[in-house]
Amino acid sequence: MRNFMLFLSGFHMIFQKNKLSTNNWLALLLITLGLVLQSHRTQAQTTPAAPPVLTNLLARIDAAANAHNPQAVIQYYGTNFTHTDGLTRQTMAQSLTQLWQRYPQLRYTTRVESWKPEGRAIIAETITNISGSQVQDNRNLLFNATIRSRQRVENDRIVRQDILWERSLLRAGAKPPTIEVRLPQQVKAGQLFNFDAIVQEPLGDDYLLGAVIEEPIKPGSYLNPIPVDLELLSAGGIFKQGRAPAAGNNRWISAIIVRGDGMTMVTQRLQIVSGNTASNTQSPAK
C-alpha cells in the first residue's frame, strides 16, 4: 500500500521537474497435454482445497476493500492484530481511508496458495493482486501490485499477517519503458547486494532519467511523500550496489526511470534477515 503512495505522490513532481522530450508434433502435443493434466490431477489429489471458512473470509475482505470501506475491512482483523510492518487495526484503517480518498480506482483479488491447520487456527499463504488506473495531470496511470503474505486466522478473524514478498509497478504516459528488475528477495544484515533495473526497449535517440530510492518499512512512512531527484543515466538502466543495514527494518527499494514519453516505477520489498537464513534468489520482473 505504501508503494502506491510513493508512486503517485511523486508522479506529479517527477514530470514537473523533468519533461523529456505434423503428426509427430501432434503426438508430442498430446503426450505433453496428458502429462500436464496428470500433474494437475495429482496436485488436486494431494493438496486439499482451502476450507470455506478461509475462502469466505478472504472473499469478504476483498469485497470490503473493493467497496473502499476501511471499517468493513478491519472488522475481519482481530482486536490484537499484529503485522510485519507494525500496523494495527487503527493505523490500517487510517491508511486505507487516506489511500482510497486519493486513489478511488484500486481493485483487490486474493487467492489461497497453501494452508494448514494449527490447533484451532489456520495458517494460510495468500497472494493478493491490486490493480487500478486513473488520469492525473492529463496522463494515464496504470498500476499493479502483487503481495504474498502469511495469515494466522482464529475465530474467523486474521490475528497476524506477515508480508513475505511484495512488488508494485506504476506505468505512466504514452510509452512507459519496460523494466526488468533484479533484486534478491532477502539478504543478511550487513550484506552487499545488487539492484539492477534494465530498460528492455532500444533507446534510439532518447535520453533516460532515473533514480533509486531506499526506504525503511514502517507505519509512519506509509503515506508520506518523498522527494525524488532524477539523474541522467549513461546506460540503459540503473545498476547499483547497496549494503543491507546491520540492524533495523526491512526495506522498500524503488527504481524510477523516465524517458521522453513515459515513466515506469518499480518498488520491491527487501527482507533483512540475521544469521544464515538469507537467500540470494533473484526475483526478476518486467
| pLDDT tens digits for range 152-205 | 999 999 999 999 999 999 999 988 999 999 999 999 999 999 999 999 988 877
Helices 2-17 and 89-102 sit at what angle, rounded to 10 degrees?
40
CA neighbours closer than 13 Å in the CB half-sphere of residue 257: 29
Query: Which one, of 194, 192, 282, lies nearest residue 243 by Cα?
Result: 192
Q: What angle do CA 212, 216, 217 make, to 5 degrees?
A: 115
With a cut of 90, say whether residue 276 has pLDDT above it: no
Q: What is the pLDDT confidence band of residue 283, given thresholds at 50, 70 and 90?
A: very low
Cα of first residue to Cα of last residue in the chain, in angstroms, is 20
pLDDT tens digits, 196-209: 999 998 887 788 99
Instruction: Give the chain's domains with CATH numbers.
Output: 2-21+46-273 (3.10.450.50)
Report the distance separating Cα 243 and Cα 190, nearest Å: 6
Q: Which helix (H) or strand (E) holds 205?
A: none
Strand 262-273 relative to strand 186-188, pairing: parallel
Report the distance separating Cα 254 and Cα 244, nearest Å: 15
Q: Is 71 exposed, middle or buried (0-12, 13-18, 19+ CB in 10 A)?
A: exposed
pLDDT tens digits, 55-89: 999 999 999 999 999 999 999 999 999 998 889 99
Average pLDDT over residues 122-137: 92
Q: 110 CB contacts (<8 Å, ≥6 apart)?
A: 58, 61, 62, 126, 127, 128, 129
Query: Which one, of 133, 138, 197, 175, lies nearest residue 262 by Cα?
Result: 175
- What's the mean pLDDT when you consider all of the chain? 81
Q: What is the pLDDT confidence band of residue 26, given thresholds at 50, 70 and 90?
A: very low
pLDDT of residue 223: 56
- Ranges assigned E (strand) in the chain: 77-83, 107-118, 121-136, 139-154, 157-173, 179-182, 186-188, 192-199, 209-216, 231-232, 237-243, 251-259, 262-273
Q: What is the pLDDT confidence band of residue 137, given thresholds at 50, 70 and 90?
A: confident
Q: What percent of the chain has pLDDT over 90?
A: 57
Contact of 265 with 220, CB cutoff 8 Å: no
pLDDT tens digits, 81-127: 999 888 999 999 998 998 888 788 999 999 999 999 999 999 999 99
Average pLDDT over residues 212-223: 75
H helices then E strands: how many in the chain?
5, 13
pLDDT of residue 220: 59
pTM: 0.77
Strand 107-118 relative to strand 179-182, pairing: unpaired
Specify the amino acid at residue 231: E
